[in-house]
Amino acid sequence: MIVAGCDIGSLTAKAVIMENGEMLSHAVIRAITRPAESAAMVMQKALERAKEKTGTGLTQQDIGYVVGTGYGREQIPFVNQVESEISCHAKAARHLMPSVRMVIDIGGQDAKATRLDDRGNVARYIYNDKCASGTGRFLEVMAEALEVRLEDLGALAAKSTEKLSISNQCVIFAETEVVSLVNEGKEIPDILNALHHSLAKRVASLARSIEVVEDVVMTGGVAKNTGVFQALSEALNVPLKALDGVDPQIMGALGAALYAMEKSNGKK
């Protein structure tokens, strides 16, 4: 049976299509204000990619079971059931790396830390969705202030030669501090490196509140930022494990698809 997972987040929508335990395709788009439309758009894009891969006319009707997740999961009209993003990220991480015991997910508008037991079940979790300073939105605001592309932040920060610090955790005040550093003549790579460490310290504090247990993986779109990945490893004093070969931004959708696969196989 062909199954799918659909993750409608605050900033992006993701979809994964699977067949016989293998990923056929995936898609990521910028979310719009109407979750149902975001879901339809991202699933259509994933279906088109699946068609290109298989050479068959795959349609929505060919998908036997769909699980939804993310902030907009209750608004997806075509799902058979919904699961929390915490459970889905944990499910996907465990599937890709059976030794994982902690998942840190930094999304567009929140950050979550989840600790797993030795069977892969969620043992404890904590999240911050009240402040943008430990989220992808924090980086978006700073990228706009510095007039650099979001996808270039990691590579630019790697060129840092001077250690700076950002003392303000509030996004508004941090942005003002960044502007002041620019006016002082500080280099963009040094400022970005400081921003990455500021974000990492906040997320590490969140993770330590439920006890950090190795192996630790990072999921979510921010995991593609190599500067944040390295800074978080340093802040945790634990080497983060990379989930090779899979876009960390689709982990919620992948976990949802894995739940759908289990359901189609008659498992609870």
pLDDT one-digit tens code per residue, 42-70: 999 999 999 888 777 789 999 999 999 99
- Euclidean distance between CA atoms 264 and 268, whole angstroms: 10
Residue 146: what residue type? L
- Full DSSP string of 227-254: HHHHHHHHHHTSPPBP-TTS-GGGHHHH
- Euclidean distance between CA atoms 206 and 208, whole angstroms: 6
Residue 159: what residue type? K
- Euclidean distance between CA atoms 140 and 108, whole angstroms: 9
Q: What share of the chain is helix, strand, coil (3-state, %, to 5)?
A: 45, 20, 30
Q: Residue 267's pLDDT is what?
A: 55
| pTM for this prediction | 0.92
CA atoms within 13 A on the CB side of 140: 11
Residue 73: what residue type? R
| Ordered structural domains, the chain, with CATH | 1-97+250-268 (3.30.420.40), 100-242 (3.30.420.40)
Q: Which residue has the higher pLDDT, 244 or 204?
A: 204
- pLDDT tens column, 141-164: 899 999 999 999 999 999 999 999
Angle in degrees, CA 24, 109, 104, rounded to 5: 65
- pLDDT tens column, 195-236: 999 999 999 999 999 999 999 999 999 999 999 999 999 999
- Euclidean distance between CA atoms 253 and 1, whole angstroms: 17
pLDDT band at 268 (very low <50, low <70, confident <90, very high): very low
Q: Residue 172's pLDDT is what?
A: 79
